Amino acid sequence: MAQGGQAATQRRGGYYLSLAAFAASVALLLFTVVDIRRAFLFPAADYFRVGSPSTILSLDARHVPLLALGILGAWLAYGFMVRLERRLKGPESNLSTLARLLAVVIGVLLVADLFIYRGVPAARIAETGKLAVGQAIPPYAFQGWLLPLGQGLNYMALVWHATALGILLGALFLCVGQEFLTRLLGGKGFKAHVAGVVLAVPQPFCSCCAAPVGAALYRGGASLGPTLAFVVSSPMLNPTALILATLLLPGEYALLRIAGGLAVGVLLTYVVSLVASRWVTIPLVETRPNRLAKASTRLLEGYARLFRFGDDLGRVVDSPANLVSSWLSMAWKLARVVVPVLLVSSVVTAAIVMALPLPSGNLLGVIAAAAFGTLLMVPTWTEIPIAAGLIKEGLSGPAAALLLTLPAVSVPGLAIVAGAVRSLRVALLLGLSIFVAGVGAGVLFLGA
């Protein structure tokens, strides 16, 4: 009996060690990948940079052993976890509690990685006082009718890291956060809505990267209001964006970006959710005896079906190894939906924006800028240098309109929201409401 107890203690100790090794390996992987994106770990001259004029990859030979160690460590630790769990399962093993603990650790690591991803360039921008619009693919690489394709690929190249983090966080919510989401975000009152805003503030995603997380929240049990609050507040109210706006914009425009962000992220999304809540429980298009209506219904239902993860949500995550396999499987399923939607929507949006007139310093210019900002997808903070450039040119109204519309939504993000909530009208109402808010802000600043 003593030897059996000692063996059980050794197995449990080895299992805890494998859990710690897995978490450490994931941390090393995330830390290395974010350095490949942001180039802060080694001397600047040591990196081989990919992307012109904006860098999308910063490579160093020392990344290879770090990546190898992280991948090998995570794979070996996971293998040990699987083998040891077969011998540890039972009421006394407490594996489900360990699974929840590991989920928290992974979530913290992902959010920390996201803050490094945003924080490193934010510190550099605050130090230099300069923020340029990113262009990872040379403008001459795509010309003529291929230009929208080039702009869509450029956007995806700039946000690949944030997109991956959004997918991983969304998958984690879907796997283990359903009870939390139902309890915290499942209500329909203003308190649950504010909870969605609070959850969004520490996660500085752009609109396209916040949408997959919002879709996961909704499919995991969050109600419509908190979902919309998260999708809009993450790009509008994250601290790094507000700090940069304060540092780089004139005072009245910085105030607009902060106060307007609160109004749009909290109040406007709440009103939209109240109006649109009845649309998510009835068919999007009523059945009519004409072929066009039937075809459109089938098309929209087929698109919404991509965002159904009901079978996976019913799976019980009862051990850390089960959590890891479910999480990665769910991330892959999300990626297969989200990445193509983002890419196609980015290309279509670029083509639409090309047809819009250039902003001018009048009401028509404000309307054009608000439309441009509502449709276009941009990386986080890009609205700040664009608005700053327009302010210098005397286009105060269009600058104000873009400060509210550019970060809040985009066609790719709205497309993902429509698929997740199974209602095109919800996405259209959200986009139209933000467009109107942008026009209102632009009119207030005309002639400023």
Domain match, 134 and 33 both: no
Structural domain ending residue among the three candidates 70, 93, 116:
93
Domain match, 11 and 111 both: no
pLDDT digits (tens, 9 = 90+) for 21-53: 999 999 999 999 999 999 999 998 999 999 877
Cβ pair 199, 222 in contact under 8 A:
no
Domain match, 104 and 38 both: no
Domain match, 388 and 254 both: yes
How far from chain centre, in Å, is Cα 44? 28
- Give the residue carrying structure tokens 């990859």: 57
Domain match, 8 and 86 both: yes
Residue 269: exposed, middle, or buried by beta-carbon count in 10 A (0-12, 13-18, 19+)?
buried
Distance, in Å, from the CA atom of 178 to the CA atom of 199, rounded to the nearest integer, reads 15
- Higher-confidence residue of 303 and 173: namely 173
Q: How many CA atoms lie within 13 A of 52 on its CB side?
A: 5
Instruction: Provide mean pLDDT across the span 173-195.
Output: 75
Domain match, 232 and 359 both: yes
The partner residues of 48 in beta bridges, in order of sequence, read 59
Count the domains in the chain.
2
Domain match, 6 and 149 both: no
Domain match, 174 and 265 both: yes
Indicate the pTM of the whole model.
Answer: 0.75
Domain match, 221 and 304 both: yes
Domain match, 263 and 341 both: yes
pLDDT digits (tens, 9 = 90+) for 90-113: 555 688 888 889 999 999 999 899
Residue 404: exposed, middle, or buried by beta-carbon count in 10 A (0-12, 13-18, 19+)?
buried
Domain match, 124 and 200 both: yes
Range of the domain at 135: 95-445
Apex CA 184: angle with CA 179 and CA 189, to 5°? 135
* Model pLDDT, residue 265: 93
Structural domain ending residue among the three candidates 93, 128, 157:
93
Domain match, 208 and 112 both: yes
Structural domain ending residue among the three candidates 42, 72, 93:
93
